[in-house]
Amino acid sequence: MFRGTTIVCIRKGDKVAMAGDGQVTLGSQIIKSGARKVRRLYKGAVLAGFAGSTADAMTLLERFETRLEENSGDLMRSAVSLVKEWRTDRALRRLEALMIVADAKLTLMLSGSGDILEPENNVAAIGSGSGFAQAAALAFLECSDMSPSAIAARAIEIAAEICIYTDKVVTVEAIGE
């Protein structure tokens, strides 16, 4: 489990939103509260969020964006290509991070151990507050008419009330809203 971040992705119909908190910690100290851990890639058509070391995550985001360009934005092919390289490359396999990537049709969770998972129930979450954010998002999806962006933001805020490694400075990116 990664300490220092929470990322959640919500899919509702043809709309998808991803949110992340902004807290960066170093040991037991909060270093920054406004980091952007959710990004738009490939001409704004793909959302990506990461949990883990900042340098590792930035390396992976850069590589993933290259894969998206090579595969004309095909999310699954790009994810397979990245995860294969991540798992087999001597330098990359040491990277400690998890990623959620999403486009208008698909959400995937990626890991360096070769995992490419399509989450159930239209919610994916990673990071230290992931369980809290996922539970909150599932409840809002079932019981409200809130947009995916509103659900994602509120799920991070709820996780921040419980997880000491998550703060309420939230970045949200959406497709289709």
What does the domain layout of the chain look like in residue ranges?
Answer: 6-128+141-171
Give, for 68, the enclosing helix (H) or strand (E): helix 54-70
Residue 1 — pLDDT band, cuts 50, 70, 90?
Answer: very low
Instruction: Give me the pLDDT at residue 59, please.
Output: 85
Identity at 166, one-letter amino acid code: T
The fold of the 6-128+141-171 domain, in CATH, is: Glutamine Phosphoribosylpyrophosphate, subunit 1, domain 1 (3.60.20)
Which residues are CB-neighbours of 104 under 8 A, at least 6 positions away?
14, 16, 45, 175, 176
- DSSP lists the bridge partners of residue 29 as 26
Between CA 79 and CA 130 the distance in angstroms is: 21
Identity at 97, one-letter amino acid code: A
Residue 78 — pLDDT band, cuts 50, 70, 90?
Answer: very high
Between CA 165 and CA 159 the distance in angstroms is: 9
Q: What confidence tens digit (pLDDT) does each residue in 94-150 have? A: 777 889 999 999 999 998 888 999 998 999 999 999 999 999 999 999 998 999 999
* Confidence check: pLDDT of 2 > 80: no
Reply yes or no on whether 5 is catalytic: yes
Identity at 99, one-letter amino acid code: M
Q: What confidence tens digit (pLDDT) does each residue in 15-30 have? A: 999 999 998 887 778 8
* Confidence check: pLDDT of 5 > 90: no
Q: Which residue has the higher pLDDT, 30 or 74?
A: 74
